[in-house]
Structure 1
């Protein structure tokens, strides 16, 4: 019902992504202390493999049966099971955006030096993928990002 409602909303996929991001933040809690990385990108590439396991563990705990495939310089997160597959087939913009927000929130909250530009739904009948791109973390990005905020919630907070 919610997916159908948000799917009819022009801003539904953005709202779903924000909800996924906020859910990751809530599930993970506070990230470990921030660190500074080499802004050349070399540290980010080397660090990705060691910092990705908690993200994989989160998606495994949620039932996605994830795995990671390294293909040269690209890292691909593969999700083999979606508990919301039937809803995702009918409303991919909402469900897949929520899962992309979950991934982005987990990467930020766990300070993983990577970005996920998009989630590719149903590349095979039982498979969705996201390509993770190394993203150096320098002084300008030395800790978890501020979660995207719903405009209405921000306005309510400013009124207080």
Structure 2
């Protein structure tokens, strides 16, 4: 299965000097000085210092104070951090596929997916936008801004009479092609939840996927609370 664009490939060719330094620190039972690592590698201490500084900034290496044989400052030593590499290979697409396959097998897959989207969307909205009860125009503008941040490439809204939001990209296109019921329902729930968190007078009634090869359309309607109040 293809992996994320951010997935890094390891084991392809010899390790670089930075990797060698990290391996030496990992293999050592005690923290090591820059000078001792430089001596073992046969390079200048400044070269080792450059790479160790970069490893420390990435959280891969940490400082430790050595024992001073007399007066004065104890020597600064370094050891490998005992944690997994936060910048290492990732495969979120595999995780997304596993979760999507699981939801797709449930009896009410679309309903579950929409609820997941709604429960997540409030956390995506800035706190300043939540519960503010904006106008329809402002609510749609803020929803379009959120969708743009999430990678949907929405077209600008067409004024206060807007009845739809046109989306020119699906950030989960491969999964949507395989399980549109689940992925599109998640997207629908996200939009509904965002508008609900704003207490907007508008909602998204439905999402029509791939009405054109490069276009999905979110159809807008009155928020349910307004419908109930007017009935």
One fold, TM greater than 0.5?
Answer: yes
Match of residue 10 from structure 1: 107
Higher RCO (CA < 8 A, seq sep 6+)? 1
* Alignment RMSD (CA, Å): 2.7
The answer (yes or no) to whether the contact 1:74–1:131 under 8 Å persists in 2 is: no
Match of 1:111 among 199, 211, 214: 199
Unaligned runs of 5+ in 1: 36-43, 142-160
C-alpha distance in 2 between matches for 1:55 and 1:34: 14
The answer (yes or no) to whether the contact 2:131–2:197 under 8 Å persists in 1 is: no
Kindly state the Cα deviation for residue 135 of structure 1 after the two structures are TM-superposed: 3.8
Match of residue 216 from structure 2: 128
TM-score under structure 1 length normalisation: 0.70
Kindly state the Cα deviation for residue 95 of structure 1 after the two structures are TM-superposed: 0.0
Q: Which has the larger radius of gyration?
A: 2
Runs of 4+ in structure 1 displaced over 2 angstroms? 29-35, 68-74, 134-138
Q: Indicate the structure with greater strand content.
A: 1
TM-score under structure 2 length normalisation: 0.50
Unaligned runs of 5+ in 2: 1-97
Give the number of aligned pairs. 130
Kindly state the Cα deviation for residue 110 of structure 1 after the two structures are TM-superposed: 1.4
Kindly state the Cα deviation for residue 83 of structure 1 after the two structures are TM-superposed: 1.3
Any idea what SS the aligned residue of 1:9 has?
Answer: coil
Compare 103-112 and 49-58 and name the one that shifted more: 49-58
C-alpha distance in 2 between matches for 1:137 and 1:17: 19
Correspondence 1:77 to 2:165: yes
